[in-house]
Amino acid sequence: MKQFFLASILAGALALPAFAADYTIIAPANPGGGWDQTARSIQTVMQQEGISGNVQVQNVPGAGGTIGLAQFASQSKGNPNALIVGGYVMVGAILTNNSPVTLNDVTPIARLTGEYEAIVVPADSPLKTFGDLVEALKKDPGAVSWGGGSAGGTDHIAVGLIAKAAGVDPTKINYIAFSGGGEALAAILGSQVTAGISGYGEFESQVKSGTLRLLAVSSAERIAGVDAPTIKESGLDVVVQNWRMVAAAPGLTDEQKAAVSTDIEKLVKSASWQETLKTKGWQDTYLAGDAFKEQLAKDISATETVLKDIGLVK
Amino acid sequence: MNTFDFLLQGLLVAAQPMNLLYALIGVTLGTAVGVLPGIGPALTVALLLPVTYKLDPGGSLIMFAGIYYGGMYGGSTTSILLNTPGESSSIVTALEGNKMARAGRGGPALATAAIGSFVAGLIATMALALIAPFVVKLALVFGPREYFALMVLAFVTVSSAFGDSTLRGLTSLFIGFALAIVGIDQLTGQTRMSFGIPDLLDGIEVTTLAVAMFAIGESLYIAAQGDLGPDKVEAVKGSVWMNRQDWARSWKPWLRGTAIGFPIGAMPAGGAEIGTFLSYATEKRLTKHPEEFGNGAIEGVAGPEAANNASAAGTLVPLLTLGLPTTATAAIMLAGFQQYGLQPGPLLFATNPQLVWGLIASLLIANFMLLVLNLPLVGLWVKLLTIPKPWLYAGILLFATLGTIGANPSVFELGMLLAFGVLGYVMRIFGYPIAPVVVGLILGPLAEQQLRRALSISQGDVTVLFTSPIAAVLLVIAAAALIIPLILRARGRGEVLAQLAASED
Amino acid sequence: MSKGHTPSTETRRPDRAALVIAVFLAALGGLIFWDASRLASATGYSGIGPATTPFVIAGCLLILAVWTVFEALRGDFPTRDRQEVAPVVWIIGGLALQMLLLKTAGFSIATGVLFAATAAAFGKRKLWMTIPLGILICLGVWLIFAGLLQLSLPAGPLEHLFW
């Protein structure tokens, strides 16, 4: 039975027609994580929509994606069929790890999805609004402990930006890094820390059930269906998006770049991609071409400044 | 009452013939991949998840549960037979299990692991259904300082349970600590012991170290014995099945392992391996056959295996009730659940009861299928040992490197595999225990981070470590476990301990 | 990592190999100490910085090194079995070759060589037979795990014939 089962998968895989562009996507993370899921979703949708007949996903995990990025930049030069998935976390990791390979060494194609940061407190916290939290922070930065993801990651950067905007010395923030969202969430729920910060998706069900109070989100405008003000509304000019993108190899001709961009645009516009976004709960923040390039440059320089302010980058 | 209606309904769906078949396929695939050293349940589930996409939701949920259990059980098979644990939670199984296999008792070892896993899985899954909301409250009380106290307790029990020389045991543990420093410091983002090598930034992978130290170190050591080494292993001595005494000695460790594993698995920063360490230490303390420990004591397989499975069910408590993925495996399962439109969180039991109970029913069925598949296969698995040594070890190294390459196809990772393999070999020559190295690598960073988090939250006030009641109790137990044997030994009354252990029961 | 293992130890005291271990432990401690001392002392609010734990571990390793010296001088280390060098060299060589060949020759050839080398370590030295056998087995393994189960195992010329 098992042989039959396996043989039928094998036969099915072999029967796939060959298309012109066979993409190989590097997911610079372990199987199961956000970048891996993005890469595998692209794989599925591209094959379903006939954009590419055969898409391979290869995992090159390590060091916030910088190992995968370095390998991609050196081994795929001039290869129009090679793609890599990446994101905002990579921007920070390149800076904190002193990575010799940066996003300038690849060809960013488009931003695909993104998630905004959410700031929460336990339901029984005396802090009722984001303003209360900022006041507490101003009074004694050490007494406000923030639970979030790894040091130098998106969550940490966002806290640094908030402190700076509020006029508090960013090196004085009491940021407690946890491994993975789950552990941070547990510490917030157990009132071990004053406030928590992470992608909104991590907190969504807790906020809905009322065990956590959502104080603010880091988007530019209010998010539909989320009952919380933006950080901007409270007078602090902070917008942070934890985005994911796809990039092509370095050294491509303009025609090759255009071809990849067209394929990615087809992907994003397809019904099955929109369906995937919905089931995974990802926000569509598609941005391509020069607009993306500009935004990327802005993100990189802002990140560098704040990491220096926090004291993580010299 | 409502709960049981849902569970019954779920069981009826899961018990349909087609779904049973899916469970069997899942268990088979999971076992086949999970058997590879270096590929634990997390990676097994991640790799095989796409296979389930092709089925309807009910069938794919069941196959998913099967893969999960199969992947977990696969690791213990190789631990017992080949002394090559596939993941950190089956390291302890290898300690006694492999000794049993070498003495021709691989059959009973595999059987007690399988039945122990089944019993633990059964009890823990039922517990998950009944007391999840209560356990989760307890888990949330655990903050960094409580975890730090738990780590201290784990260190004390572990160090007393491994090895016959204090110096060599401690040395092994500290080599593990030294390796644990490598990589980015999680709390400040600074790189330690990485010497500018990007591959070292994420630290040393536990599975790489475990596979290298056990599989490669062991192969080197056996090969170096040349003709002087032990002859071909006698695969089966006595019955391949568990005898009356095996049963008598197994059932209590199963239950104790379950009782230890489930709550630890339910803690957001617990981790399955801590439960197995504590269970092993407990069984070693309580056994009536202390002389067998280190030479193949069945309690040392039964307890930790049960603890491992129970803690796997335990991790589902925070996952389902809070949406907290507390282990790598749980994180992958979360991704899997989302595929079925199941959004874990506090509202899950209220908004989506059919799916939750369907999942729990699937886990029960998959757990049962695992037993159905593996008990008859015990005889076949044990035959593995009769393969002539050259081919057996060639195969072990083939699969050990396959696991490492599959997880991360990097030449650097293979280089580390080789280096740690040699280290494991040299340590074997000089009689250093291997397991403490891996324990140090796992627990060292946890203890350090939790301590620093606790002190950071308290802004440097050390007294918080002792003022929490739970932390204080854990530390007192740890201190007692460390000091009492010393005092007793100092007074020359070591035999009192043996007396106490013997009169127990 | 590979410190030379002294094959025979008829000399019971002092135990020279054990002294080498003590030196190794001390060197490891020194290395950690050196590495940690260049870290910024960003202790934050906890009072424990990234360098604190490494310092403690380095100190303990030095103590363990001294303790090892005492046990070595007293001859407290257990007796060791005689180690054959040739099989060890075969296996290490096989692993090293696999590492070097993996990216260029692909999984099957590289691992097939390791397979044959390991068999040779245990006495099957007919390489003209074991290497092809190993490559064949590994190709089968590759087809199952890379082909069907989507594990990313590097492909070489041989694998490209099939996929």
B275-293 pLDDT, tens digit per residue, is: 888 888 888 888 788 777 7
Encoding tokens for residue B189? 């983002």
Which one of B223, B394, B411 has the shortest CB-CB distance to C88?
B223
Q: Which amino acid is at A43?
A: Q
B338 touches chain A (CB under 8 A): yes
Chain B residues inside the 8 Å CB shell of A63: 184, 198-199, 201-202
pLDDT band at C27 (very low <50, low <70, confident <90, very high): very high
pLDDT band at C3 (very low <50, low <70, confident <90, very high): very low
For helices B57-82 and B328-339, the axis angle rounded to 10 degrees is: 160
Which one of B224, B390, B418 has the shortest CB-CB distance to C84?
B224
Across the interface, whether the CB atoms of A311 and C44 are under 8 A apart is answered no
Phi, psi of B435 (to 5 degrees): -55, -40
Encoding tokens for residue A143? 């007494």
**DSSP strand pairing (B191-192 vs B183-184):** antiparallel
Domain assignment present for B304: yes
C-alpha C141/C-alpha B403 separation (Å) is: 12
Q: Where is pLDDT greater, at B51 or B112?
A: B112
Which one of C32, C87, C95 has the shortest CB-CB distance to B226?
C87
C-alpha B487/C-alpha B362 separation (Å) is: 51
Coil/strand/helix, residue B10: helix
Coil/strand/helix, residue B35: coil
Average pLDDT over every residue of B142-170: 76
Coil/strand/helix, residue A175: strand
Chain A residues inside the 8 Å CB shell of C44: 174
* Residue with the two structure tokens 């403690």: C56
Chain A residues inside the 8 Å CB shell of C141: none
DSSP string covering B306-318, please? Answer: HHHHHHHHHHHHH
Average pLDDT over every residue of B25-39: 76
* CA-CA-CA-CA dihedral for B488, B492, B496, B497, to nearest 10: 50
Whether C106 shows a pLDDT value over 70: the answer reads: yes
Encoding tokens for residue A97? 């790890």
Please give the helix or strand (H or E) that residue A256 lies within, else none: helix A254-269
C-alpha B492/C-alpha A296 separation (Å) is: 72
Whether C23 shows a pLDDT value over 90: the answer reads: yes
C-alpha C152/C-alpha C142 separation (Å) is: 10
Across the interface, whether the CB atoms of C102 and B226 are under 8 A apart is answered no
Chain C residues inside the 8 Å CB shell of B423: 1-2
Domain assignment present for B235: no
Domain assignment present for B504: no
Domain assignment present for B290: yes
Please tell me the predicted confidence (pLDDT) of residue B418: 93
Q: Which residues contact B445 (CB under 8 A, 6 or more apart)?
A: B180, B186, B203
Please tell me the predicted confidence (pLDDT) of residue B496: 46
DSSP string covering A283-314, please? Answer: EEEEEEHHHHHHHHHHHHHHHHHHHHHHTS--
Distances (CA, A) of B106 to B46, B72, B202: 30, 18, 37
Average pLDDT over every residue of B466-487: 81
Please tell me the predicted confidence (pLDDT) of residue B133: 65
Please tell me the predicted confidence (pLDDT) of residue B425: 92
Distances (CA, A) of B305 to B72, B83, B93: 10, 15, 7
- Determine whether A172 is exposed, middle or buried from the number of CB atoms within 10 Å of its CB (0-12, 13-18, 19+): middle
Across the interface, whether the CB atoms of A174 and C45 are under 8 A apart is answered yes
Residue closest to C17 by CA, chosen among C31, C4, C2: C4
pLDDT tens per residue across span C55-102: 999 999 999 999 999 888 887 777 777 788 889 999 999 999 999 998
Whether B314 shows a pLDDT value over 60: the answer reads: yes
Nearest CA in chain C to B395: C115
pLDDT tens per residue across span B104-130: 888 888 888 888 888 888 888 888 877
Interface partners of chain B (CB pairs < 8 Å, 3 or more) are A, C
* CA-CA-CA-CA dihedral for B179, B183, B189, B191, to nearest 10: 100
B214 touches chain C (CB under 8 A): no
C-alpha A256/C-alpha A262 separation (Å) is: 10
Whether A286 shows a pLDDT value over 50: the answer reads: yes
Please tell me the predicted confidence (pLDDT) of residue A20: 45
C-alpha B36/C-alpha A241 separation (Å) is: 40
Please give the helix or strand (H or E) that residue A98 lies within, else none: none
Please tell me the predicted confidence (pLDDT) of residue B491: 63
Please give the helix or strand (H or E) that residue C14 lies within, else none: none
Chain A residues inside the 8 Å CB shell of C147: 10, 13
Q: How many domains does chain B have?
A: 1
A12 touches chain C (CB under 8 A): no
Query: Model's pTM, two decimal places?
Result: 0.78
Average pLDDT over every residue of A185-199: 88
Domain assignment present for B107: yes
Q: Which runs of consecutive H residues, i.e. helices, occur in chain C? A: 16-37, 52-74, 85-121, 127-142, 157-162
Mutant choice from B148, B408, B448, B451 vs A, greatest count of A C-beta within 10 A: B408
Please tell me the predicted confidence (pLDDT) of residue B503: 44
Give A247's strand partners. A84, A108
Please tell me the predicted confidence (pLDDT) of residue C33: 92
Residue closest to A97 by CA, chosen among A62, A148, A147: A62
Coil/strand/helix, residue B237: coil
Which one of C35, C87, C124 has the shortest CB-CB distance to B192?
C35
Across the interface, whether the CB atoms of C137 and B178 are under 8 A apart is answered no
Chain B nearest C-alpha distance from C42 (Å): 8
pLDDT band at A122 (very low <50, low <70, confident <90, very high): very high
The dihedral through the CA atoms of A49, A50, A51, A52 has a sign that is positive
- CA B352 from chain centre, in angstroms, equals 31
Please tell me the predicted confidence (pLDDT) of residue A214: 92
Q: Where is pLDDT greater, at B462 or B498?
A: B462
Residue closest to B223 by CA, chosen among C140, C95, C111: C95
Please tell me the predicted confidence (pLDDT) of residue B1: 42
Average pLDDT, chain B: 78
User: Using the 8-state DSSP alphabet, how is residue B179 labeled?
Assistant: H
Domain assignment present for B505: no
Question: In this structure, are residues A13 and A45 in contact, taking their beta carbons and an 8 Å threshold?
Answer: no
Chain A residues inside the 8 Å CB shell of C42: 311
B188 touches chain A (CB under 8 A): yes
Encoding tokens for residue A24? 């190989």
Coil/strand/helix, residue A194: coil
Nearest CA in chain B to C29: B178
Chain B nearest C-alpha distance from A24 (Å): 15
C-alpha A2/C-alpha B107 separation (Å) is: 25
Coil/strand/helix, residue A110: strand
User: Using the 8-state DSSP alphabet, how is residue A230 labeled?
Assistant: B
C-alpha A298/C-alpha A305 separation (Å) is: 11
Distances (CA, A) of B135 to A60, A152, B127, B304: 37, 33, 9, 21
Average pLDDT, chain C: 83
Q: Which runs of consecutive H residues, i.e. helices, occur in A106-253? A: 130-139, 154-165, 180-189, 200-209
Average pLDDT over every residue of B358-362: 80
Structural domain harbouring B34: 3-229+240-499
Q: Where is pLDDT greater, at B3 or B270?
A: B3
Chain B residues inside the 8 Å CB shell of A32: 42, 46, 328, 331-332, 335
Give B184's strand partners. B191
Across the interface, whether the CB atoms of B331 and A2 are under 8 A apart is answered no
Whether B147 shows a pLDDT value over 80: the answer reads: yes
Question: In this structure, are residues B425 and B224 in contact, taking their beta carbons and an 8 Å threshold?
Answer: yes
Window from A4-8, B358-362, B383-387 with minimum mean pLDDT: A4-8
Average pLDDT over every residue of A110-131: 89
Residues 9-68 of C with CB under 8 A from B: 17-18, 21, 25, 28, 31-32, 35-36, 39-40, 42, 44-50, 53-54, 57, 60-61, 64, 67-68
Q: Where is pLDDT greater, at A4 or B110?
A: B110
What is the ipTM for the molecules in this complex?
Answer: 0.87
Q: Which amino acid is at B451?
A: L
Whether B95 shows a pLDDT value over 60: the answer reads: yes
DSSP string covering B53-112, please? Answer: TTS-HHHHHHHHHHHHHHHHHHHHHHHHHHS--SSGGGHHHHHHHHHHHHTTBHHHHHHH
Residue closest to A47 by CA, chosen among A290, A266, A201: A266
Whether A33 shows a pLDDT value over 70: the answer reads: no
pLDDT band at A271 (very low <50, low <70, confident <90, very high): confident
Across the interface, whether the CB atoms of A206 and B323 are under 8 A apart is answered yes
Please tell me the predicted confidence (pLDDT) of residue B103: 81
Domain assignment present for B295: yes
B201 touches chain C (CB under 8 A): no
Please tell me the predicted confidence (pLDDT) of residue A3: 46
Residue closest to B400 by CA, chosen among B199, B214, B200: B214
C-alpha B48/C-alpha C119 separation (Å) is: 32
Please tell me the predicted confidence (pLDDT) of residue C116: 93
Question: In this structure, are residues A246 and A261 in contact, taking their beta carbons and an 8 Å threshold?
Answer: no
**DSSP strand pairing (A24-27 vs A56-59):** parallel
Average pLDDT, chain A: 81
C-alpha C152/C-alpha C154 separation (Å) is: 6
Encoding tokens for residue C41? 């002392």
* Residue with the two structure tokens 């009354």: B493
C-alpha B61/C-alpha B22 separation (Å) is: 9
B193: left (phi over 0), alpha (psi -120 to 50) or beta: left
C-alpha B56/C-alpha B37 separation (Å) is: 32
DSSP string covering A2-58, please? Answer: HHHHHHHHHHHHHTSPP-S---EEEE-S-TTSHHHHHHHHHHHHHHHTTS-S--EEE
Domain assignment present for B234: no
C-alpha C13/C-alpha B334 separation (Å) is: 58
Which domains are seen in chain A, by residue range? 23-114+242-310 (3.40.190.150), 130-234 (3.40.190.10)
B394 touches chain C (CB under 8 A): yes
Neighbours of A31 (CB within 10 A): 25
Residue closest to B335 by CA, chosen among B49, B90, B15, B23: B49
Q: Where are the beta strands (DSSP E) in B281-438?
A: none
pLDDT tens per residue across span A55-95: 777 777 777 778 888 888 878 887 888 888 888 888 888 88
User: Using the 8-state DSSP alphabet, how is residue C59 labeled?
Assistant: H
pLDDT band at A11 (very low <50, low <70, confident <90, very high): very low
- Determine whether B245 is exposed, middle or buried from the number of CB atoms within 10 Å of its CB (0-12, 13-18, 19+): exposed
